[in-house]
Chains A and B, each alone.
Chain A
Amino acid sequence: MKTQRDAFFSRLYEIAKTNPDIILIVCDMDAPSLNVWRKDLPDQYINVGPAEQNAITLAAGMTKEGKKVFVYTISSFLVYRAFEQIRLDICYENLPVTLCGVGAGLSYANAGPTHHAIEDIAILRTLPNLRIHNMTDSVMAEAFAEISVGLKYPNYVRFDRGTYKSFLELDNHKFGYKDYKELIGLSDTLIMATGNMVHTAVAVSSKLDCNIMNVFEFPISDEILEGIIVQKYKRIITIEEHVLPGGLGSAVLELLADNNLQIPVKRFGLEGNYTHRVGGREHLQKLYGLDKESIIKGIKEWM
């Protein structure tokens, strides 16, 4: 199974072959799906080395000259190192650049906090015209590639490094990007999750009776809001591999408050200090209480 990153760039490569306006800027990154770009589409592939600020300003200038630009590197470097460039040269100018970050959450577990993208959703949510597209699995990533080419707003697509079975891969249907929203049950309890935690939510809901909503876009869509209102949920649980301040949980609290919905919310996410621990992603998740068992326990205690 392809990784989310490779599913996306493989599909994008097919489109780029007949669209010379698509330009991919990478910051010293390598990948199976990128090797073929570099070889076959050399005029559409630029490696700027680890120079994230330059990558973003170049993307802005190229967009002004009519190109559709994708910038790809590790999420933490893309968002944190070049945040001012994203804020001013992409968002203030309202340019439809697609920022592609790999390494959502603790994907790069043992690489340490330099490589952990655990504040990026919070930080980018503050930019009023940038939309975050947080991939759930490779099927979604592949579907999103085509969509990203036509977007007219600044956007950030976030790839996890885990490979997950697409829980919507049923009956060999080709699921569209928008089909990912909801796994309906009959519960009055809703889990809202994003990215890799959607798969954890699925595992949790097999033990507890909960509905699941996949929040794969920020700002949170109207469809999700409608779903919450229509189903009359008594309680909401949010799960994210991201810090609590400003992340999915905060976004949900804002949504409820802004729409006068008085529903109790329990947030699961990363708390406390940065970890200096290693031992793989699953181990870190356990330490942070983001594994299936800890979440089930936490929900039971809360309810």
Chain B
Amino acid sequence: MNLNLKAKELRRTVLGMCHEAGEGHLASSFSCMEILVSLYHDNVMLLGEDVFVMSKGHASMALYAILSELGYFSDEWIKRFCKKDGILGIHVDSRVPGIFISTGSLGHGFGVAAGMAWVKKQKGDDGKVYVLLGDGECCEGSIWETAMFVVHHNLTNLITIVDRNYISATDYIYNTPLGKYESLNDKFSGFGFGVKDILGHNIDDLSKALRSCSKDYPTVIIANTVKGRGVSFMEDDPKWHVKKLTEKEYKKAMKELS
């Protein structure tokens, strides 16, 4: 299947599960859809050998859509998202097949991923660890504790991706202490990472970048994305971090994604 079509189909799954439950971080899930499609469907991750950590745990719906479609669990689980006898909730949970660590508080998953990468490197394991951060998440101090560690131990088997959708929970990033957009690149390169700055909705670009990370120094891929990408009226607007869709909006959104 054409991977862009797959991304669209997965966005429909996410939209459906969010609307059915009446909750979920829709815009945050939409911004990282192509990143996940690239990782899981475009010859990037070796499933069973490589590990993926969703440090921005609030984008759970995107990951759950991917895992369900790959058969990690029944799509009945998707239907029961946030429901009384459901398993899937708003934040990623490790009791779900395919998930290695529960996340949902920012700044944790990155460190856990680094710990996994450290062991894999020490064992001489070929497996890689891929970790997805949010850009707002980079306000957390613990991110930078881990960043120092990753570079110090030259964990080149850890591939860090930032879903740079330019919006945190309540505001544009330039209104947070992260400041100017380019500053995130400088911060990571200042810490000693190799930084790739790419278009985050272009699956080809994403996959090429993910497949060509240096073996000499750890890499951060900053994927420039749009929060709420895929649904025109949701794009690039802070209020869609938590806003619920009306029935009318839902229908309009579904139409755009068809």
Q: Report A's interface with B, CB cutoff 8 A.
A: 43, 46, 48-49, 51, 53-54, 56-67, 84-85, 88-89, 92-93
Given contacts A60-B115, A61-B111, contact A93 B101 (CB under 8 A): yes
Q: Counting CB contacts under 8 A, is B40 at the interface?
A: no
The answer to whether B145 touches A61, judged by C-beta atoms less than 8 angstroms apart, is: no
Residue of chain A at shortest CB distance from B55:
A57
The answer to whether B102 touches A64, judged by C-beta atoms less than 8 angstroms apart, is: no
Which residues does chain A contribute within 8 Å of B214, judged by CB atoms?
Answer: none
Given contacts A51-B148, A64-B100, A92-B102, contact A58 B120 (CB under 8 A): no
Q: Looking at chain B's contact residues, is the secondary structure mostly helix, strand, loop, or mixed? A: helix
Which residues does chain B contribute within 8 Å of A93, judged by CB atoms?
Answer: 94, 101-102
How far is the CB of B133 from the nearest CB of chain A, in Å?
13
How far is the CB of B168 from the nearest CB of chain A, in Å?
19
Which residues does chain B contribute within 8 Å of A92, judged by CB atoms?
Answer: 102
The answer to whether A62 touches B108, judged by C-beta atoms less than 8 angstroms apart, is: no
Q: Counting CB contacts under 8 A, is B122 at the interface?
A: yes
The answer to whether B149 touches A61, judged by C-beta atoms less than 8 angstroms apart, is: no
Please list 13 pairs of residues, one from A and one from B, whose beta carbons are closer than 8 Å in the complex, sorted by A's number. Answer: A48-B149, A54-B114, A54-B149, A56-B111, A57-B108, A57-B114, A58-B114, A60-B101, A61-B119, A65-B115, A65-B119, A88-B104, A93-B102
Q: How large is the interface on B (under 10, 10 to 19, 20 to 34, 35 or more residues)?
A: 20 to 34
Given contacts A51-B148, A54-B142, contact A64 B107 (CB under 8 A): no
**Residue of B111, B115, B116 with most chain A CB atoms under a 10 A cut-off:** B115
How far is the CB of A78 from the nearest CB of chain B, in Å?
14
Q: Looking at chain A's contact residues, is the secondary structure mostly helix, strand, loop, or mixed? A: helix
Our pick among B102, B118, B122, B123 for the contact of A58 (Cβ within 8 Å) is B118
Which residues does chain B contribute within 8 Å of A57, judged by CB atoms?
Answer: 108-112, 114-115, 142, 146
Residue of chain B at shortest CB distance from A61:
B115
Chain B 115-173 residues near chain A, CB threshold 8 A: 115-120, 122-123, 141-142, 145-146, 148-149
The answer to whether A64 touches B115, judged by C-beta atoms less than 8 angstroms apart, is: yes
The answer to whether B102 touches A85, judged by C-beta atoms less than 8 angstroms apart, is: no
Q: Counting CB contacts under 8 A, is B113 at the interface?
A: yes
How far is the CB of B108 from the nearest CB of chain A, in Å?
5
How far is the CB of B197 from the nearest CB of chain A, in Å?
26
Which residues does chain A contribute within 8 Å of B43, judged by CB atoms?
Answer: none
How far is the CB of A81 from the nearest CB of chain B, in Å?
10
Q: Counting CB contacts under 8 A, is B105 at the interface?
A: yes
The answer to whether B116 touches A84, judged by C-beta atoms less than 8 angstroms apart, is: no
Residue of chain B at shortest CB distance from A25:
B115
The answer to whether A58 touches B149, judged by C-beta atoms less than 8 angstroms apart, is: yes
The answer to whether A62 touches B142, judged by C-beta atoms less than 8 angstroms apart, is: no
The answer to whether B105 touches A62, judged by C-beta atoms less than 8 angstroms apart, is: no
**Residue of A51, A58, A59, A89 with most chain B CB atoms under a 10 A cut-off:** A58
Which residues does chain B contribute within 8 Å of A85, judged by CB atoms?
Answer: 108, 111, 142
Residue of chain A at shortest CB distance from B129:
A61
The CA of A43 and the CA of B104, in the complex, are separated in Å by: 31
Given contacts A43-B122, A93-B101, contact A62 B145 (CB under 8 A): no
Our pick among A46, A53, A89 for the contact of B145 (Cβ within 8 Å) is A53
Residue of chain A at shortest CB distance from B123:
A65
Residue of chain A at shortest CB distance from B125:
A65
Our pick among A51, A59, A60, A63 for the contact of B149 (Cβ within 8 Å) is A51
The CA of A64 and the CA of B112, in the complex, are separated in Å by: 9
The answer to whether A88 touches B116, judged by C-beta atoms less than 8 angstroms apart, is: no
The answer to whether A61 touches B122, judged by C-beta atoms less than 8 angstroms apart, is: no
Which residues does chain A contribute within 8 Å of B119, judged by CB atoms?
Answer: 61-62, 65-67
Which residues does chain B contribute within 8 Å of A63, judged by CB atoms?
Answer: 115
Which residues does chain B contribute within 8 Å of A43, judged by CB atoms?
Answer: 122
The CA of A146 and the CA of B53, in the complex, are separated in Å by: 33
Which residues does chain A contribute within 8 Å of B113, judged by CB atoms?
Answer: 61
Beyond the given A57-B112, A61-B112, A65-B120, could you list 4 further A-B residue pairs with CB under 8 A, ordered by the A residue number? A46-B118, A53-B141, A58-B114, A58-B115
How far is the CB of A66 from the nearest CB of chain B, in Å?
7
Residue of chain B at shortest CB distance from A63:
B115
How far is the CB of B231 from the nearest CB of chain A, in Å?
32
Which residues does chain B contribute within 8 Å of A51, judged by CB atoms?
Answer: 145, 148-149
The answer to whether A89 touches B108, judged by C-beta atoms less than 8 angstroms apart, is: yes
How far is the CB of A72 from the nearest CB of chain B, in Å?
16
How far is the CB of A80 from the nearest CB of chain B, in Å?
15
Chain B 29-88 residues near chain A, CB threshold 8 A: none
How far is the CB of A201 from the nearest CB of chain B, in Å?
40
How far is the CB of B125 from the nearest CB of chain A, in Å?
8
Sorted from nearest, which 10 A-B pairs have the closest CB atoms?
A: A61-B115, A57-B111, A54-B145, A65-B119, A58-B115, A51-B145, A61-B112, A53-B142, A61-B116, A62-B115
How far is the CB of A85 from the nearest CB of chain B, in Å?
6
The CA of A14 and the CA of B119, in the complex, are separated in Å by: 22
Which residues does chain A contribute within 8 Å of B114, judged by CB atoms?
Answer: 54, 57-58, 61
